[in-house]
Each structure stands twice: as structure tokens, then as C-alpha cells.
Amino acid sequence: MGAGPAIQKGTGSSGRVFLLLLKSFIGTGVLFLSSAFRDGGFAFSVAMLLLLAILITVGMMLLVWTSEVVPGSFEQIGDRLFGKPARWLVLASVGISQFGFGCAYCLFVAKNASELVRRVSNDTVFLGPWIFILIQMGIYLPLVTVRRMENFAILSIMGNAFVLFGLGVVSVAAISHMVSAGGVAKDIVMLNADRFPLFIGTSIYTFEGIGLVIPMKEACKEPKKFGMILCVAMVITTAIYVFVAAVGYLSWGAEVQTIVLFNLDQNALSSTIYALYIWAIVFTFPITVTPTMQCLDKVLFSSVLDIDPDVKPVKPAKGMALWSPRKLFWTQNVARWAVVLSIGLVAYFAADALDKLVSIVGSFGCVPLSFCYPAAFHLRAFPNQGLGWKLLDWAFIVVGFAAMIFVTIQTLRS
């Protein structure tokens, strides 16, 4: 989930909104899905991934329909329907999920860089991931002081191109490996009863993008078409996820790595892919953590400013002492640096459990945003809807909450 579309409200054509949705949905998370298929088993994973895609799309549409009668951002809708507690719950979930993405991406870069150095040096130099976590801290600390995300637009586009190129290379390599091996791996299982909760959390992590739904809808020049645009984008995204994950698992079986890039042969092309992925994440990191920074600003500085803290500070709240732009800027920077350092610490301690980190972020951070909140808001916004819709809303709330608890606990135990 990013910071929002790079187009003004009501100015985006259907084609542009569609491409922005695809750009937002298809990211590095798909590289974790092949190992997630190993955790869930092939048949279970394919069926569950398709089911989750449908349910997540329904959750997005519930939020879209709610926004048509209760306008505003995700947290504003919660505030208007349930009061301040709902607003803070949404902000907390967004902040936690994006913080988790930042941790996973930081560790992803560290492991990629460590593997890249090993391969380029022909196994003569081994640098632990912690070294590259420290290097990232030195890069991210100044980057997160940048307020205008437009400054990263070109880097973001380049990063998305690198990601797509990498997915193509992984898919071709996996198919080539199956051809040379004379078929799929011999140790493919249909259901892994011991580790399937890891798959659920990872797949929800990969799909998470509901925070962009309302900004994208508002950006669409023809909002009545947005539902169809969103559904088509999700169908294409799901097809890519299933294909890339399936060929990776079928090719390497139980040997598939948590980051499927590590299964590529040791050559110049794979090293280039590693370097491109590192670029794609490092220089778009501020966009990834921007929602966390925004949530933190609203929590810490809402008593100082009446306006959005991400807007240039110019107006003090009533009865409050005037904060100069410089004072607020540097106070916010200290808070942002604290977030970055916290991300580094979590990445360091989770160095040997990247798959679990991704699954926990998906279950604890993303499930409420994708299922519980949209259904609760829809239920309150449409009190006179039919029994079928009410049952659907309640099912999303109850099952979503139960899934969050179950998958989080089972992931920690596994």
C-alpha cells in the first residue's frame, strides 16, 4: 500500500487508474509466494489464493460502496460511522501494516545484498544481513525527511519496471528448470497441515492494498466504472500471483527459498536481478513507510495542527502556542527517525524468520483492514440492507477477526 495515487481527484482516465492499481498491487511480495505454496501445499494454496482474492475484492467493494454514502478517507469514514475509536483503530492498523512492510522490505534488501556479495565474490566474501541493515539505516534516515513523495515518482516507476522484469526472469528460470529436470519436483505436496497458516498470512500480505481504494476511486474521472476497473485489476493480479508462485514451487519443490530469487542460478543475470530489486526497494522506501509516518503525525501532532500534518505547517490549533514550521519539521523528523530505527531493530531480530514476519504482518496488520473494518463500516452505513448483506458483513467481521488471531498464533508457534 502506497501513499496514494499520483493524480488529482477526478482527473484520471479509466486506463490510467487501472495501470496505477496494477502498479500498486504487483510488488515484491509475490516473491514470497512460492515458498508460501510450500508451506500450504500446492492444491490448498491455489484454492486458498483464489478464494482470498475474491474475498479481498469483496472487502474493497464494501469500502467503495460505503464511501459513496459516507465520503472521506478510510479513517474518516470510521470516525463518521463509529466515532474516534474507529478512526484510531484504522490509523493503528494502517501504521502497523506499513511498519511491517518496512521491516520485511528492510530484511529483504539485507538478505538480497548479502547473497549478491556472496555470488559476486564467488563465495569468498560473506557479509551478514545485519551489516546491510545498518547501511540501509544510513540511507533511510535522510530519505524519510523528504515530505514531497513526487520526488520519488520516477524512482518508483523504475522500481516497478525492475520488479516486473525480475518476475519474468524467475518464471522463465523456473520453467527451464522443470524442463531440464524432466518435470515438476518430486516432493510436491497438496496440503501441508503443519504450516498452512503461514501461507494464509503471506498471501494476505501480498494482496494488501485496500488503503489505496478510496484515493484511486476519487482520482477516477468516471467513478461509476471504478468497481469494474478494480475487479479486472484484481483478476490480472491474481493470475500473475498464481502463475509465478506455482511455477516456482513446482520447479524447486521443498528446496524453494523464502525469497525465490535465491533459487536462480549463480550468474551475471541473477546478480543483476538482485541489484535491481535492491534499487527498487531502497529508493522507494519513503513511499512504503509514508502511511506510517502520516499516522504517527496525526497521533503526535494533532493537538498542534488543525490541518493534515503532511501539509506544510502554517496554522496552530485554537488555544495552542504557535509552533514554527522549523520546530514542527524537526520534531516530526525525530519521530520519523525513531520509526526507521525501530524498523531496523525488528529486521535485525527477525533475520532468520522472514517468512514468519511476512505472515504476521499479513494476519495481524492486514486482515482487519481487508475484512473487518470494511464490513463493519458497510453494516453501519446501510442499516436497511437485506438479510443476505448483513450476514455477509457479519461473516467478514467474525471470520476475519478469528483468522487474524488464529493465523498470528499459529505462525508464532510454527
Q: Which architecture characterizes domain 14-303+323-413 according to CATH?
A: Orthogonal Bundle (1.10)
Whether the predicted pLDDT of 151 surpasses 90: no
pLDDT: which is higher, 234 or 156: 234
Alpha helices in 302-386 (DSSP H): 325-349, 354-360, 367, 373-381
Average pLDDT (244-267) is 91
> pLDDT band at residue 3, thresholds of 50, 70 and 90?
very low
123 residue type, one letter:
D
Cα separation, 330 vs 336, whole angstroms: 10
Of residues 195, 191, 186, 202, the one with CA closest to residue 251: 186
Q: Is the pLDDT of residue 35 over 70?
A: yes
**Taking the alpha carbons of 75, 79, 81, 85 in that order, is the dihedral positive or negative?**
positive
Nearest 10 degrees: CA dihedral of 246, 251, 257, 261? -90
Distance set, CA 298 to CA 5, 116, 306, 307 (Å): 20, 39, 10, 10
**The pLDDT of residue 365:** 84
d(CA 276, CA 161): 9
- Give CA separation, 168 vs 30, 242, 244, 250, in Å: 12, 14, 9, 16
CB of 101 closer than 8 Å to CB of 346: no
Q: How many CB atoms lie within 10 A of CB 182?
A: 6
What does pTM read for this prediction? Answer: 0.85
Q: Sorting pLDDT into bands at 50, 70 and 90, what band is 54?
A: very high
pLDDT at residue 23, as a whole number: 80
Average pLDDT over the chain reads: 86
| pLDDT exceeds 60 at position 55 | yes
Nearest-Å Rg of the Cα atoms of the chain is: 21
Q: Of 91, 55, 1, whose CA–CA distance to 289 is shortest?
A: 1
Tens digits of residue pLDDT in 85-120? 999 899 888 888 888 888 888 998 999 899 899 988
For position 353, what pLDDT does the model report? 84
Burial class (CB in 10 A: 0-12, 13-18, 19+), 390: middle
- Mean pLDDT to the nearest integer, 263-289: 86
Q: Report the percentage of the chain scoring pLDDT > 90.
A: 43
The domain limits of the chain are 14-303+323-413
Q: Going by C-beta distance under 8 Å and a sequence separation of 6 or more, which residues neighbour residue 24?
A: 1, 2, 209, 212, 216
Q: What is the DSSP letter of 303?
A: T
Q: In the chain, what percentage of residues exceed pLDDT 70?
A: 91
For the chain, the first-to-last Cα distance in angstroms comes to 27
What gap in Å lies between CA 365 and CA 222, rounded to an integer? 31
Mean pLDDT over 136-160 rounds to 83
Confidence at residue 5, expressed as pLDDT on a 0 to 100 scale: 46
Question: How many whole angstroms from its chain centre is CA 402?
Answer: 21
pLDDT for 369: 92
**340/140 Cα distance (integer angstroms):** 7
> Residue 313: what pLDDT?
45
Give the other-Cβ count within 10 Å of 253's Cβ.
18
Least confident of 62-71, 120-129, 177-186, 324-333: 324-333
Residue 31 has pLDDT above 90, yes or no: no
Q: How confident is residue 1, by pLDDT bands cut at 50, 70 and 90?
A: very low
pLDDT in tens, 295-353: 787 777 766 655 444 444 445 545 445 566 777 788 888 989 999 999 999 999 988 88
Cell numbers that stand for 202 in this block: 503471506
